């Protein structure tokens, strides 16, 4: 997939996902960003959820629902979503990382399909490019790797 350099949504989304990836301490090698509408992202996470010790875990983002955590299936079927972060489709990258850390430390109890009253309502996706614009610069900066 080749992205149009001038596409604000694509640059903003790639930068946003990159910052979430960095907050999670991941390299981004196992991630995918789909900038075409409906926009989405996939990040493979390290570790296992307490409730699913034998399954890989992924962090998913889409422009309608925001962030969710899902487990992989062994048969290659669709991922099984276990929890949603909340109403805001573009929460701060640090907030996403804190939420993921909480899920790995404490499990899913009380988190399945959880929503939050904080942040923008889901209808705010109409200005998605505007909400992602502040993150566009992160898509243009070379990644820093620790030696």
Could you give the C-alpha distances from 135 to 67, 101, 124, 146, in angstroms and in order?
A: 16, 22, 17, 22
Q: How many domains does the chain have?
A: 1
SS3 content of the chain, % helix, strand, coil (to 5): 35, 20, 45
- Residue 96, pLDDT > 70, answer yes
* Residue found under tokens 């989304």: 13
Beta-bridge partners for 69: 59, 83
Contact 59, 43 (CB under 8 A): yes
pLDDT digits (tens, 9 = 90+) for 23-59: 999 987 889 999 888 999 999 999 999 899 999 999 9
Residue 147 within a domain = no
Residue 97 within a domain = yes
- Residue 78, pLDDT > 70, answer yes
Residue 27 within a domain = yes
pLDDT reported for residue 112: 53
Containing structural domain, residue 95: 8-138
pLDDT reported for residue 37: 86
Residue 76 within a domain = yes
pLDDT reported for residue 118: 37
Residue 69 within a domain = yes
Contact 37, 7 (CB under 8 A): no
Instruction: Calculate the average pLDDT of the chain.
Output: 82
**pLDDT band for position 137 (50/70/90)?**
confident
């Amino acid at each position: 997939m080749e992205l149009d350099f001038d596409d604000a949504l694509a640059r903003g989304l790639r930068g946003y996902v990159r910052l979430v990836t960095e907050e999670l301490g991941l390299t981004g090698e196992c991630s995918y960003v789909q900038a075409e509408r409906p926009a989405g992202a996939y990040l493979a996470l390290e570790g296992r959820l307490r409730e699913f010790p034998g399954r890989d875990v992924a962090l998913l983002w889409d422009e309608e629902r925001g962030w969710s955590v899902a487990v992989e299936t062994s048969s290659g079927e669709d991922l099984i979503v276990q929890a949603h972060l909340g109403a805001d489709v573009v929460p701060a990258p640090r907030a996403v990382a804190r939420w993921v850390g909480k899920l790995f430390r404490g499990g899913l109890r009380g988190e399945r399909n959880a929503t939050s009253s904080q942040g923008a309502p889901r209808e705010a996706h109409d200005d998605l490019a505007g909400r992602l614009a502040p993150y566009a610069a992160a898509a243009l900066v070379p990644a820093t790797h620790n030696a």
